[in-house]
Amino acid sequence: MRDFFERKKEELGIELNAVQQQAVLETEGPLLLLACPGSGKTTTMIMRIGYLIEEKKVPPSRIKAITFSRASAADMKARFEKLFPHLPSVNFSTIHSLAFEITRHYLEKTDRNYELIEGKGSHQFNKQSLLKRIYKDVLKEDCTDDELGTLSTFISGLKNKLIPMDKWEEVEQPFKNASLIAKKYEQHKTKQTHFIYVDFDDMLVLAEEALRLDDALADEFRGRFDYLLTDESQDTSLVQHMIVEHLVAYHGNLCVVADDDQSIYTWRGADPTYLLEFKKVYPDALILQMEQNYRSSKEIVETAAKFITRNQDRYPKQMFTKNAANKPIQLKQVSTPKDQLDYVIYELLNEKNLSETAILFRNNASSTMYVSELHRRGIPFYMKDADDKFFNHWIIEDILNFMRLSFNVERKDIFAKIILKMNLYVSRSQVTKFQNAKASGNVFDVFMKTVPLKERQVKKLQDYKKGYEVIPEMRPMRVIQLIREDLGYEAALKSRAEKFGYRFDHLNDILDTLENIAMPLRTMVEFAQRLKELEEAVQTAKFNPPENAVTLSTFHSSKGLEFGRVFMIDLQKGIIPSEEDEQDVRTLEEARRLFYVGMTRAKNRLELLSFQEDEGKKKEDSRFLNEVRRIINPNQAPVEKRKTIATKQVQRKTVQVNPKGIQNRQELSVGLEVVHRVFGKGKILSVDSKVKIQFEHEQKEFDTNTILQYGFIERV
């Protein structure tokens, strides 16, 4: 047995520690391998598979490796083939693809046809359109993207937890009648005798049902594999665990790789308690703990290890490292979100290896201002999970419609869309009566003439009409403020949030972000164009990013990644943990695990950022940030008594200017050949407030003042 490890050390340069070697050798029976961040779990899994094939002579086709995502499956397959190029490849796949294969066989045996209504196989009739239709039938309202996402997550949770349909109404609902919509959705999909519509969660539920009820089919799939491995099992739901249980029922040769401290998906059905009760399901199971971290510096590992021990519902393990100390974890509290943005941007302007740098955040709303500023400054960026929905959010469409009306106050079609958002408490039937009226002219006058209104409604409409008389003269940021306050949009938004059970502060954050985007712009047309520019920049950053680009990611999507330097931003009370997180010990512990995931992405430098106030309102640091602060320095004074660190003015002084770069505007001219530090050689196409440059493979625009201030381009 020792020969295998010595041989692999010579062939591949891979040297496994004692626990990793034991994880490779313990091939028979159930094994729970608890792998701390950066502990080499993927390498260990691949070496285990190689050992099964080379030493135990197990045919590769008899081994099944199940991963959390298609990307993980592809990555593991590629790494296996790199380390064992002489061996036939093993079956690496997601649990969903395996479940779909089982479901397909099951439906064929029970004489049922099916159609996929989710993913690439779905067409015009899909899960989203069906849910929207049922939502409108039940609630008499159009379903927004927010509500659709909430509803989909709710239904997914019900199925992944295997909750019977007759118990759905007993589950806490995200908004009134959510369980009724869920039931109607299921009834519609299965109303035909020999036909069924199938979504991703149905694949799992039907596969589990098939393995439980159809002995012949279960035997067929149990007989395919002698060894199963599952990765990222802390993110596995109950129905997924049950599928695996069915498949290993005869031989029990199961290796489950997980970290209960990184379980961050219970909101979509993951079941971390299953791992804590692993011995109840598999009494003979061996539990190993891979606690050595090879990724991060001593300071990061020791602080993160102490931080996560504040959770009670976990296996008692202690992450450690033999890596040397590097730089202390930096905790920076600045004055405002703008100061936080400026600090990060100016640090990035000095950062040469942007691909080793990441900005991590709890909510996607945090990313938009960073996208805007990075784009303006010409700093290349990659979005791990691009917030495609932000620029198509119904709030943005509302704001643009409010603005569009100011260009022509006789547009009845636009007015009909926004009057329900003006906190007037008018009904849809009243709006329909207005639309059908033949009268034309100023829409406020027409509405007051054609629709019976109360005195206070008339007074509000008269005030709104006056507001629209001055809007054309305003800068877009002030227009947004007027829409929010004077035109009653924010009040209407709050009322809608209360009615449908989603968070008003999330919606308000979108409005704040739009104000920040609008701040430097002069006209509403410029504002609309800027939104389109940013939407295109996000798409490029997601699908075609430059090589040396800073990564923007939520904490959730950063799991599995690592970076030399990590900025964790917006570490405020109400964000992480959120108000909902604070309501329950279990959700609070999950939020702490999420914070831990963010911390352990950093290899050498970790910076935790917060701010004191926003829009004149005092803000408190995240309780997790304070916990880290006390770990680093138990005797440190409370943050409220300390002087604010890092201001924009201080940080400006640290930015390095390229002495060879062009710093005089007169030197910039159309046709001039230049070199950019990231994009290489190019030719200037135009010079205004922005410099447009044609590079070999792409065209880029940069803020002129930034280009000159830091000498980002040189003459060829």
Q: What would the pLDDT profile of 641-658 be if each residue is shown by its tens digit?
A: 344 333 333 333 344 567
pLDDT digits (tens, 9 = 90+) for 667-683: 888 999 988 866 778 89
- The H-or-E segment that residue 701 falls in is strand 699-703
Most confident residue range from 482-486, 500-504, 660-664: 482-486
CATH of region 391-527, choose from 1.10.760, 2.60.40, 1.10.486, 3.30.360:
1.10.486
Start and end residues for every CATH 2.40.10 domain found in the chain = 665-715
Contact assessment for residue 477 and residue 515, using Cβ atoms and an 8 Å cutoff: yes
Beta-carbon neighbour count of residue 466 at 10 Å?
Answer: 11
2-97+205-292, CATH topology level: Rossmann fold (3.40.50)
Residue 339: C-alpha distances to residues 393, 535, 571 (Å): 27, 24, 14
More confident residue, 439 or 659: 439
**Are residues 229 and 65 in contact, defined by beta-carbon separation less than 8 angstroms?**
yes
Q: H helices of 411-562, where?
A: 412-418, 428-436, 443-450, 455-470, 476-485, 489-500, 504-518, 524-543, 555-558
For domain 665-715, the question of CATH label 1.20.120 is answered with: no
* Between 364 and 341, the higher pLDDT residue: 341
pLDDT in tens, 526-536: 999 999 988 88
**Residue pair 489/423 in contact by the 8 Å Cβ criterion:** yes
279 pLDDT more than 50: yes
- Cβ contacts of 591 within 8 Å, gap of 6 or more: 576, 577, 578, 581, 624
Cβ proximity of 501 and 174 under 8 Å? yes
CA dist 19 → 22, 44, 215, 634 (Å): 5, 10, 38, 33
Does residue 447 contact residue 412 with C-beta atoms inside 8 Å? no
pLDDT of the residue at 652: 37
Return d(Cα 218, Cα 230) in angstroms, integer.
19
> What pLDDT, on a 0 to 100 scale, did the predictor assign at position 653?
36
Helix pair 367-377, 524-543: axis angle to 10 deg: 90
pLDDT in tens, 160-169: 999 999 999 9
pLDDT, tens digit, for every residue of 543-578?
Answer: 777 888 999 999 998 988 999 999 999 999 989 998
Element at 592 (helix H, strand E): helix 585-599
Residue found by looking up tokens 């792998």 in the block: 35
What's the confidence (pLDDT) of residue 78? 92
Domain with CATH 3.40.50.300 in the chain: 2-97+205-292, 330-380+546-652
Q: For all residues of the chain together, what is the average pLDDT?
A: 88
- pLDDT tens profile 366-411: 788 898 889 888 899 998 865 557 788 888 999 999 999 999 999 9
Structure tokens at 186: 């299921």
Residue 119 has pLDDT above 80, yes or no: no
3-class secondary-structure state, position 114 = strand
Which tokens in the block code for residue 447? 């509405």
Fold adopted by 330-380+546-652: Rossmann fold (3.40.50)
Radius of gyration of the chain (CA): 29
Residue 584's Cα: distance from chain center in Å?
22
Q: Give the separation between CA 328 and CA 126, rounded to whole angstroms.
A: 51
